[in-house]
Amino acid sequence: MSDRIFLLYRGIAVRTEWQDGKKWPVWSCRSCQHAFTNPQPSPNQLEKYYDANYTAYSDDHGTTDFDSALRTAKKFHEFRYVRINQGLRILDVGCGGGFFLRICRELGAEIFGVEPSKHGVKTCRANAVPVFHGSLTEYIETKPLPFDLVTCNHVIEHHPRPVDFLKEMASLKTPDGKVWMSVPNASSIFSRILRYRWHSSDLPVHLHHFSIHSFQKAVQMAELNIDNLQTASAGSVPSSVSQILRYRFLLPRRLTLPLIKVVVPDNGFIETKINKTFNGEAILSLTQ
């Protein structure tokens, strides 16, 4: 094994419903700061974590108020940091319960999703969201028409071979089309402090933990060009600070979180500063 690879930590699942005591070894590369679970759990091992209660499969994933989210999206012609124009043909890969696509449809886009989970597909179909049930590889075999925009929100880190996955997404866009992606930022300040306890480490379903550098490298290996790269925290800074106080000083979140939200409001100075220094909790990228 290369001397550039070292054991970063052995972590357990943070989600309460997943806490079974099993430890997952996460290794890291000194060159690109990319971290990954090694050995990777098998699909059979992961199946019990991707059950009907997995939050991405709910019809309100990302918000509890569809109408409020839609009003904001219509005001800015944007949702989930993605510009949505009338008539845009959009494919959302790993679409979960289809919440993003439902908003895009209301903004006048032509929508389609790909989702491997039967639970996510069930939610999509209940909301009349057109979806292919299966893997991206299987969907490509159907020879679909190309899309103006291919999106993928917090999905790549779940895939065992992320570069191959990126290449597949790129193959589905028009010559002038774009690929929009978001992954957790494992080089963020809170990831470095909290390690496996950071909410977006999300063991064991997150197989890869991208740094800014390793994400850029993966995009380059997939022969894509980055038009825009930024980080965002979407109001998660108070939660991460509260986690630090919980694990370092045993202060309960029910007491600290309300106070921290007053001091660190969403989109306030601290969050803006963190994002500008590429320490935000998610990496956002628009590529072509």
Q: In whole angstroms, how large is the CA radius of gyration of the chain?
A: 19
Q: Which helix (H) or strand (E) holds 286?
A: strand 282-287
pTM over 0.85: yes
Residue 101's CB is within 10 A of a number of other CB atoms, namely: 24
Q: Which residues does residue 90 pair with via DSSP β-bridges, in sequence order?
A: 111, 149
Q: Where are the domains of the chain?
A: 50-171
Beta strands in 15-129 (DSSP E): 24-29, 35-37, 78-79, 82-83, 89-93, 110-115
List the chain pLDDT tens, one digit each, 288 residues: 467 899 999 999 988 889 888 999 999 999 989 999 999 999 999 999 998 888 888 877 766 688 898 999 999 999 988 999 999 999 999 999 999 999 999 999 999 999 999 999 999 999 999 999 999 999 999 999 999 999 999 999 999 999 999 999 999 999 999 999 999 999 999 999 999 999 999 999 999 999 999 999 999 999 999 999 999 987 788 888 888 998 888 888 888 888 888 887 766 788 888 989 999 999 999 999
Per-residue confidence (pLDDT) for residue 62, from 0 to 100 = 65
Per-residue confidence (pLDDT) for residue 94, from 0 to 100 = 97
How far is residue 215 from each of residues 206, 236, 286, measured CA to CA in Å?
15, 21, 12
Burial of 219 (0-12, 13-18, 19+ CB in 10 A): buried
Q: Of the CATH numbers 3.40.50.150, 3.40.50.300, 3.30.1490.20, 3.60.10.10, which one belongs to the domain with range 50-171?
A: 3.40.50.150
- Measured distance CA(259)–CA(98) in Å, rounded: 34
Per-residue confidence (pLDDT) for residue 27, from 0 to 100 = 97
